[in-house]
Amino acid sequence: MPSDASNPRPGYRIEHDSMGEVEVPQDALWAAQTARAVQNFPVSGRPVPLPVVHALAEIKAAAAQVNAELGVVSHERAESITAAATAVAQGRYDDQFPIDVFQTGSGTSTNMNVNEVIAHLATRDGGVEVHPNDHVNAGQSSNDTFPSAVRVAATIAAEQRLAPALRHLTESLGRKAAEFDDVVKAGRTHLMDAVPVTLGQEFGGYQRQMALASERVLHAAQATRELPLGGTAAGTGLNAAPGFAAAVIARLEERTGIRFTEAFDHFEAQGTQDALVELSGAFKVVAVGLTKICNDLRWMGSGPRSGLAEIFIPDLQPGSSIMPGKVNPVICEATLMVCAQVIGNDTAVTVAGAAGNFELNVMLPVLARNVLESADLLASVTRLLADRCVDGIRADVDRCQSYAEGSPAIATPLNKYLGYEEVAGIVKESVATRRSIRDIVLERGHVAAGRITEEQLDEALDTRRAAKPHEPR
């Protein structure tokens, strides 16, 4: 709030910006523009994700080094800025970034928060006066640095956190696919009995889902490697020295170990955020795949008496406050809730991504929040699903075999001997009388009439052969 410069409230100091004076907490490293944003946006109590702050600091450090080489700032100032920005990027001052994520749509408030903290640290520790706009922000605008930072943070999250977690789950599912390769069970389509499959085949399908999910995430992250940096306010590059963007991005690559490139077209990269929408879409596909897997696991593990009970899911905690001994598939449920959140986040990202008005998207902070939250949630829960659930799953082999043998769909291989309509009649009679397919075929005289031999009948009703019809005998 505005205050008399000679008489701030206890515990506060006076800072000023282009709009005048404002009180700032005495021990805060930030200054006037941050203070105004804190006052203006008391919305959620949730600040901009720290990975974005850290990425902004990496950009500031790289920019300071390039600006020194270009003669825009002195080498002494650049060294002080680089040291301060590096400390911020390392998370040493995470408590100095309080601005709510629901703020100005360009992220200007957070960009200035980072500029002010770095300027304060550089001035305090470097022994040289550093201005947040003139020096830390030299050659930059919030309109190119903030979306660049979001893309840097999103790329790192996708490539270094989520993709490895998905590979971890893929490997876990693959081990189970191999372990359950010979466990024959009833297949199900429309939740109704279908021809036999193996439990290993089902887990192999899950394994492939997650392998493809990882590939999709990495492919989408290629788009977020393209940075708007250098476009400054509107995409034209005004106030940035020639070669500034390319040089800063090269330094940024050195600092992060990830290859980034300058935007092919700065108007596209600032006016739209299609790259982030695409990445969020890949996260949604991961969530959809995990939803299918976890629902299948819950169905197969349902019971222990009145469900399918084909698999045993690890018991982790009591499942009821009133029913003794009840245990629930809690990791699957936690995963499903994450998936619901990620799908919801993608809806917000879709709406925010459409908010590009002329030369700038103006929902950048909420894009950052939802994309990064989705990556973080999925990375955490996929490892949890692998380690606390999938790795410990056991098969009830006898029950699976019993379901396979009892399924009326095992009659399907008889079509080539008896015809579809006759086999349909046999199946209906089997279901109505609860007698075996084999007994009804014999009773109807098909073997006696020579339409099928007993050997052919037994081979046709072999559940293992039905599950793997093309396997050499």
Residue 424 makes CB contacts below 8 A (sequence gap 6+) with: none
Say which amino acid occupies 242.
P
Upper half-sphere CA count for residue 72 (Cβ side, 13 Å): 22
User: Most distant CA pair in the chain: distance in Å?
Assistant: 111
* Cα(34)–Cα(447) distance, integer angstroms: 87
SS3 21: strand
- Site of tokens 């809806």: 347
* Cα(437)–Cα(195) distance, integer angstroms: 13
Q: Which residues are annotated as a binding site for substrate?
A: 106-108, 131-134, 141-143, 189, 321, 326-328
CB 273, CB 239: distance < 8 Å = no
Active site residues: 190, 320
Q: Which residues are annotated as a binding site?
A: 106-108, 131-134, 141-143, 189, 321, 326-328
* Cα(343)–Cα(301) distance, integer angstroms: 25
Residue 361 makes CB contacts below 8 A (sequence gap 6+) with: 105, 147, 270, 271, 272, 273, 352, 353, 355, 367
Q: Which two tokens stand for residue 109?
A: 């408030």
